[in-house]
Amino acid sequence: MAARTEIKPMTADKIAAQLTDAVHEHRLQPGAKLREDELCEIFGVSRTIVRQSLRSLEFEGLLTIEKNRGAFVSKPTLKEAHEVFQARALLEPTTARAAAERANDVDIDMLEQHIEAEHAALAQDEAGLALKLSGDFHLEIARIADQNTIEQFLRQLISRSSLVIALYWRRRNALCESNAHHALLDAFRNHNGADAEELMKGHLLDIYSQLDLREREDGTTSLRDALKL
């Protein structure tokens, strides 16, 4: 395990990556504020670097920077939630088809390991980690398809999906996830592009249908709920 206090100065990219993981694993909730000075202390760099990483995460849609107020973990609206999954529905099925047709043995091994890691995380009740790994699985497919541009877009969409899930997920069990991923893996093993495309389409619809996309009150309710008033 790495030491908590790094000796080498962190780069903006590494800080952004750590913050991204924290959001993906739901250790940082939508609406959480990220103060610059606090991050400076944690990572041992100046505000220049911290601000760089915050900016880059804003571009990815993970953070929202309000002028003179600071950086907050984004809270996607209902409309944005729909848009994210509509965009994924356009990009991912075709990408999965291409990936299934291109995948070699090393690629398939890697996907297997991803699924195993997901299982392990679930077994240890680390739902956040499992969710992040599930996102990585989708990204891995774009990588296998050798579509760098789409992979980049997908990275943003999966980031936002993580926020959407944090806000609008109905139930906590992500078990269905790994089943769908298993089915996809089989299609990859058979290099069956048509199957992979259909499975991905269904998988995305499945996630989408499990979102509670009704209107709801603002975050102030969470405090009220927490106090049971």
Partner DNA sequence: TGAGCAAGAATTGTATACGATCCAACATCA
Partner DNA sequence: TGATGTTGGATCGTATACAATTCTTGCTCA
**Interface positions with a second copy (CB under 8 A):** 52, 55-56, 59, 79-80, 83-84, 86-87, 90-91, 94, 147-150, 153, 157, 160
Please answer whether residues 227 and 39 qualify as being in contact, where contact means their C-beta atoms are separated by less than 8 angstroms. no
Q: What are phi and psi of 38, to 5 degrees?
A: -60, -45
Using an 8 Å Cβ cutoff, are 181 and 137 in contact? yes
36 binds, among DNA, a second copy, none (CB under 5 to 8 A by kind): DNA
CB of 2 vs a second copy, minimal distance in Å: 24
Coil, strand, or helix at residue 66? Answer: strand
We find the least distance from the C-beta atom of residue 29 to a second copy, in angstroms, to be: 22
- Quick one: which of 188, 180, 190, 105 has its CA closest to 141? 188
Identity of the residue, 35 or 224, whose beta carbon is nearer to DNA in the bound complex: 35
Report the partner that residue 65 touches, choosing among DNA, a second copy, none (CB closer than 5 to 8 A by kind): DNA
> Among candidates 204, 172, 225, 219, which has minimal Cα distance to 72?
219
Amino acid code (one letter) for 136: D
Question: Binding to DNA (CB under 7 A): which residues in 46-105?
Answer: 46-49, 51-52, 65, 67-71
Residues that bind DNA (CB under 7 A): 9, 11-12, 33-37, 45-49, 51-52, 65, 67-71
